């Protein structure tokens, strides 16, 4: 093999791998991206049936209903609009009424958001940036992450 051919093999392999990678990324981008909405966004848009998204906001005070089974119902609010949520499973430790929450799942035709994932946060003073931004849009933002909040870091 000449030097030129060797270089050709090398460059060809690199291009092939890169091409496959770009293809995979583009394909995955189309199918596996999850959008984030607040209750007001959801009210104002047509959702394709079965489309997964993340719903964020505050857990409305007094809305958490625990039955005798493992299904929990609560209402997520951003101050302007609300959306009822059901979730089957064990809630994270820091799930509380009046606190920020992010849930992931599907909006069913009955108007209830069926969450299969409720995200836990490590810090009780932490407000997910998306939730904070949505709350600011709706004008119900309270500065909960005051200067006296413990800051912590895992990494």
Partner 1 sequence: MIAETGHYALILALAVAIVQMVLPVIGTRLRDPQLTAVAVPAAQAEFILIGIAFIALTTAYVTSDFSVLNVWQNSHSAKPLLYKISGVWGNHEGSMVLWVLILALFGAAVATFGTNLPRQLQANVLAVQGSIAVAFLLFIIMTSNPFARLDPAPFDGQGLNPVLQDPALAFHPPFLYAGYVGFSMAFSFAVAALIDGRIDAAWARWVRPWTLAAWMCLTIGIAMGSWWAYYELGWGGFWFWDPVENASFMPWLAGTALLHSALVMEKRDALKVWTILLAIITFSLSLMGTFLVRSGVLTSVHAFAVDPERGVFILGIMAVFIGGAFALFAWRAPLLSQGGLFAPISREGSLVLNNLLLTVACAAVLVGTLYPLALEAVTGEKISVGAPFFNLTFVPLIVPLLIAVPFGPLLAWKRGDLYAAAQRLMVAAIVSLGVMIVALAINQKGPWLAPLGIGLGVWLLMGAATEIATRVKLFDASSTESWRRARNLPRAAYGSALAHAGVGLMVIGLVATTAWRTERIEALAPGGTVDIAGYQLKFEGVAPRQGPNYQERVAVFEVTRDGNPVTELRPSKRAFAVEKSATTEAGIHNSWRGDLYVVLGDELKDGGYSIRVYFNPMVRLIWIGALVMFFGGGVSLSDRRLRVGAPKRAKPKSKTATVAAEGR
Shortest Å, Cβ 83 to partner 1: 16
How far apart are CB 49 and partner 1 at their closest, in Å? 19
Nearer to partner 1, 75 or 131 (CB): 131
Question: Closer to partner 1 at the Cβ: 77 or 126?
Answer: 126
Computed from CA positions of residues 139, 129, 99, 58, in that sequence, does the dihedral angle turn out positive or negative? positive
Q: How far is the CB of 6 from partner 1 (least distance, A)?
A: 6
Residues 6+ apart with CB under 8 A from 152: 122, 123
- SS3 call for 22: helix
User: In whole angstroms, what is the distance from residue 53 CA to residue 18 CA?
Assistant: 30
Residue 114 is labelled as binding a ligand: no
Binding site for partner 1 (CB under 8 A): 1, 3, 6, 9-10, 13-14, 17-18, 20-21, 24-25, 27-29, 31-36, 54, 66-70, 72, 88-94, 102, 119-126, 128-130, 133, 145, 148-155
Nearest one of 12, 73, 80, 9 to 41, comparing CA atoms? 80
Q: What SS3 class is residue 154?
A: coil
Q: How far apart are CA 149 and CA 124, in angstroms?
A: 9
126 assigned to a ligand binding site: yes
68/111 with CB nearer partner 1: 68
């Amino acid at each position: 093999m000449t030097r030129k051919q060797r270089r050709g093999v090398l460059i060809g392999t690199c291009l092939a791998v890169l091409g496959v990678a770009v293809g995979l990324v583009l394909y995955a981008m189309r199918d596996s991206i999850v959008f984030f909405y607040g209750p007001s966004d959801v009210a104002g848009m047509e959702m394709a049936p079965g489309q997964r998204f993340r719903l964020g906001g505050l857990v409305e005070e007094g809305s958490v209903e625990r039955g005798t089974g493992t299904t929990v119902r609560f209402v997520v609010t951003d101050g302007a609009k609300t959306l009822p949520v059901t979730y089957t499973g064990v809630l994270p430790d820091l799930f509380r009424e009046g606190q920020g929450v992010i849930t992931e799942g599907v909006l069913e035709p009955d108007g209830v958001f069926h969450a299969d994932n409720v995200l836990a946060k490590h810090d009780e003073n932490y407000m997910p940036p998306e939730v904070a931004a949505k709350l600011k849009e709706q004008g119900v933002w309270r500065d909960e992450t005051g200067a006296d909040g413990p800051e912590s870091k895992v990494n």
